Amino acid sequence: MSSRLPPLESLVPPHIRCIEPYIPSKPDDVLGKMFGCPRIYRLNNNENALGPSPKALAALQAADPGQASVYPSGDAYHLRHKLAGRFGHPPDAFIVGNGANELIAFVIKAFCQEGDNIITADRTFAVYEWVAGFSGYEARLAPLRDYGFDDEAMLAAVDGRTKIIFVCNPNNPTGTYWDERRLRRFLDRVDGRQIVVLDEAYAEFVEAGDFPDGMSLINEYPNLVVFRTFSKMFALAALRIGYLAGNEKVVEVIRRTCVVYSVNSLAQVAAIASLEDADEHIARTRRMVNEARAFLRRELSRLGLFHFGDQANYMVVRLPISDTLAYRKLMRQGVMVRTMTGFRFPNHIRVTLGPIPVMEKFIAALEAALAE
């Protein structure tokens, strides 16, 4: 038996050598010991503080543990039919995945080959860029304009090797969005030459009347692929489940790259139940988020801190100190936020909007951190 390390220099492709691994945060019990706080308020991942809907909770509690020995539905058959009924598209127009990250990988694998590129923004959900990069494809990043996606810059970056354009609507982390008129104008100018992915992970939080419903545009734009997730509004983040929808012929191509059985049975059951009381759950969550946003706007203005984020369930705050230093100071008081240097917003933090008592805890901790 050889104990020699394999020749990594020759085994690892150049496009992998230059990538730094993503280091997720440690579990709460470990962080609690590290920072000396008995309880941690998680305001870092845009989770819904209300938790899953009542019907989703009931479905999870009713699940038979004995079924853990049985493989899940490989293509989420019942969930796809439920989605078809809700959105008015055929079941085969949907693919269910192990969270949006897996769906991003499916789409990129389906359409890109050596020498191709994808286009997105420079300060948005980073996984589009990461998956393209470690798959060996170029990610072209158009700078944001006024904190929103710049359609002209994205169109200018398109060339004959561009296969996919990713638009996060509303954008994570800035909370800006394209209205329906702007989205239609963009899709008209793309004119079906590339796949346009519209990531609507936070769509259910948006109440603006001119916010587009990507699902309703699929029949008009066969190159449009829409992402949705059960992690945010429906609070099933731990179960990892999301879905995409598009023209059936386009989705059939994407399905060729899918790994079956990646979505577990509990996730499928909870997602189906979530759709049964979705309207009530969405209304409750929006009330909580709106109250939190109004409170934080008032308090952050009182503290003289620039902030933005008019949609979704998060806000971004610019600080007079480094975001990593602020993170450590806030963690010592049991408040976890997301540092934004990794999003190319140095000295900014992103805060999940939650119940008012938690928002009060955050503001008190922030004031104390800035006063040190």
Which amino acid is it at 77? Y
Give one DSSP letter per residue of 224-241, joined into a string: EEEEEESSSTT--GGG--
Euclidean distance between CA atoms 300 and 323, whole angstroms: 16
Long-range contact set of residues 152-158: C-beta below 8 Å, sequence gap at least 24? 154/119, 154/120, 154/121, 154/186, 155/186, 155/189, 155/190, 157/119, 158/119, 158/190, 158/193, 158/194
Q: What's the average model confidence in pLDDT over 162-188? A: 97
* CB 314, CB 44: distance < 8 Å: no
Per-residue pLDDT tens digits for 95-120: 999 999 999 999 999 999 999 999 99
Residue 2 scores a pLDDT above 80: no
Please say if the pLDDT value at position 204 is more than 90: yes
Cβ neighbour number for residue 16 with a 10 Å cutoff? 13
Query: 19: pLDDT confidence band, cut at 50, 70 and 90?
Result: confident
Mean pLDDT of 219-232: 98
Mean pLDDT of 57-69: 96
230-255 pLDDT tens trace: 999 999 999 999 999 999 999 999 99
- Quick one: which H or E segment has residue 50? none
- What does the pLDDT read at residue 123? 96
Give the pairing type, strands 314-318 and 348-352. antiparallel
Q: pLDDT confidence of 305, banded at 50, 70, 90?
A: very high
Q: Tens digits of per-residue pLDDT, 168-180?
A: 999 999 999 999 9
Please check whether residue 337 is in contact with residue 321, taking contact to mean a CB–CB distance below 8 angstroms: no
What is the DSSP track for 92-128?
A: GGEEEESHHHHHHHHHHHHH--TT-EEEEESSS-THH
User: Is 40:31 a contact under the CB 8 Å cutoff?
Assistant: yes
pLDDT of residue 20: 85
Q: Is 198 helix (H, G, I), strand (E, B) or coil?
A: strand
Which tokens in the block code for residue 107?
Answer: 């789409």
The candidate with the shortest Cα–Cα distance to 102, out of 207, 208, 259, 219, is: 259
Band the pLDDT of 225: cuts 50, 70, 90.
very high
Give yes or no for a contact between 300 and 307, defined as CB atoms under 8 angstroms apart. yes
Q: What is the pTM of this model?
A: 0.95
Q: How far apart are CA 33 and CA 299, in angstroms?
A: 30
pLDDT tops 90 at residue 77: yes
Q: State residue 213's pLDDT score.
A: 96
Position 6 confidence tier, pLDDT thresholds 50, 70, 90: very high
pLDDT at residue 22 greater than cutoff 90: no
- Quote the pLDDT of residue 18: 87
Q: Which of 121, 90, 118 is nearest to 104 (CA)?
A: 118
Question: Average model confidence (pLDDT) for the chain?
Answer: 96
- pLDDT tens by residue, 122-137: 999 999 999 999 999 9
Which amino acid appears at position 18 of this protein? C
